[in-house]
Amino acid sequence: MTGQAAGFEELRDLYQEVILDHGRKPRNHFRMEVFDASARGDNPMCGDRVELFLALADGHISKASFIGRGCAISQASASLLTELVPGLTPDAARAMGARLREMAKTGARDDSTPALERLSALSGVHEFPSRVKCATLAWHALDAALDGSKEASSE
């Protein structure tokens, strides 16, 4: 079973425990009744979907939730998003999305803040080109919601 173990180890870079955990039990997974911004992200290739809801107060994101379907990566990424963006200004939230996209592309972790450290769990996708979109889908939806448009596509 060395082969298998090896396979598992390699895959742990991508499927870190935090990812599997958020993938299995996504946080803030509900349709918000009253919200200030919302957008849907679709990845037509694999059918992944994330619908994101944001409540805003005093120029900050006060609450975030999502519904959707898809792979562990896309759902975990959305789940993490809903935990990490409350308290941020729209610009700061966007900047966090930009950091995530860069990690997903380069694989470089960013441990400079606790939030980015948690997000760095997603950096493992950079080895899997076809999965990068899964990790970034929710963050595209975030941009779209903040821009006031209704749809985002990770394509």
Quick check: 152 and 144 in contact, CB under 8 A?
Answer: yes
The nearest distance, CB 125 to other proteins, in angstroms, is 9
Site for other proteins in 85-104 (CB under 8 A): none
Q: Per rule CB under 8 A, is residue 129 in the interface with other proteins?
A: yes
Among 58, 59, 114, 130, binds other proteins (CB under 8 A): 130
Site for other proteins in 9-68 (CB under 8 A): 10-11, 14-15, 20, 23, 42, 44-48
The nearest distance, CB 130 to other proteins, in angstroms, is 5
Tokens 């979109």 correspond to: 133
Alpha-carbon gap, residue 33 to 108, rounded angstroms: 37
Phi and psi dihedrals of 151, rounded to 5?
-135, 150
DSSP 55-105: EEETTEEEEEEEEEE--HHHHHHHHHHHHHSTTS-HHHHHHHHHHHHHHHH
Closer to other proteins by CB, 11 or 57: give it: 11
Residues that bind other proteins (CB under 8 A): 3-4, 7-8, 10-11, 14-15, 20, 23, 42, 44-48, 69-73, 128-131, 134, 153, 155
